């Protein structure tokens, strides 16, 4: 886990990016995580367990951070992608892509709270984005 935290996760900009990275390393059919580097040094099972533990750790941090902090984290993640912020916000809102970021061993209530917070954070970010666009147009 230390290896994973220091070599891979610390390079990502913020916890939301880490959450998305960890969730996307997971096979949705089996729930197993894959990480070539870790699997090479240790084993696939150890790598998967370390990834799962980190996933839960990052998820818990985001679950218990304030809405203001969550918005900041989400903003950092959106800026780090090479897609236009408006497009990311729209697709996340309509497709609900953030639902797949929840760890497998997560309590139902915790998942409900997290999804609800992300939904509100997305709405606030979209609102901010729209007002920036309006300001640019009027200028």
Partner 1 sequence: MSQLLPYLFLGLLLFAVLAWWVWDTIVHRAAAEVLAPHRSRVKSVASHRDLGERIFGPEDWDFVSRETSWEIHRMFQRERTVLAISWLRRTRLQVSQVMRAHLAVAQKSEDLKLTTEIRLAMSYLLFLVLCNSLIGWIRLLGPVRARKIVGQTLQWAAQLRGAFEQLMARVDPESCGVVGPNFNRGTVRS
Show Cβ contacts of residue 94 under 8 Å, excluding neighbours closer than 6 positions: none
In sequence order, which ranges of 2-107 are alpha helices (DSSP H)? 2-3, 15-24, 36-41, 44-64, 67-80, 85-95
Please report where in the chains the tokens 């300001």 appear, as a residue. 135
The answer to whether 95 contacts partner 1 (rule: CB under 8 A) is no
Q: Which of 109, 136, 137, 138 binds partner 1 (CB under 8 A)?
A: 109
Smallest gap, in angstroms, from Cβ of residue 41 to partner 1? 29
The answer to whether 27 contacts partner 1 (rule: CB under 8 A) is no
Smallest gap, in angstroms, from Cβ of residue 52 to partner 1? 13
Which spans of this chain sit near partner 1 (rule: CB under 8 A)? Answer: 60, 63-64, 66-68, 105-110, 112-113, 116-117, 119-120, 123-124, 127
């Amino acid at each position: 886990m230390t290896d994973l935290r220091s070599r891979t996760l610390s390079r990502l900009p913020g916890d939301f990016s880490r959450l998305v990275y960890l969730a996307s390393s997971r096979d949705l059919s089996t729930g197993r995580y894959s990480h070539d580097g870790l699997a090479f040094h240790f084993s696939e099972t150890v790598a998967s367990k370390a990834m799962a533990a980190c996933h839960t750790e990052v998820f818990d941090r985001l679950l218990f951070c304030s809405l203001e902090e969550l918005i900041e984290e989400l903003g950092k993640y959106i800026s780090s992608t090479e897609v236009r912020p408006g497009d990311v916000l729209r697709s996340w809102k309509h497709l609900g892509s953030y639902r797949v970021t929840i760890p497998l061993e997560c309590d139902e209530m915790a998942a409900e709270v997290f999804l609800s917070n992300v939904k509100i954070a997305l709405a606030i970010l979209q609102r901010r984005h729209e007002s920036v666009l309006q300001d640019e147009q009027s200028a």
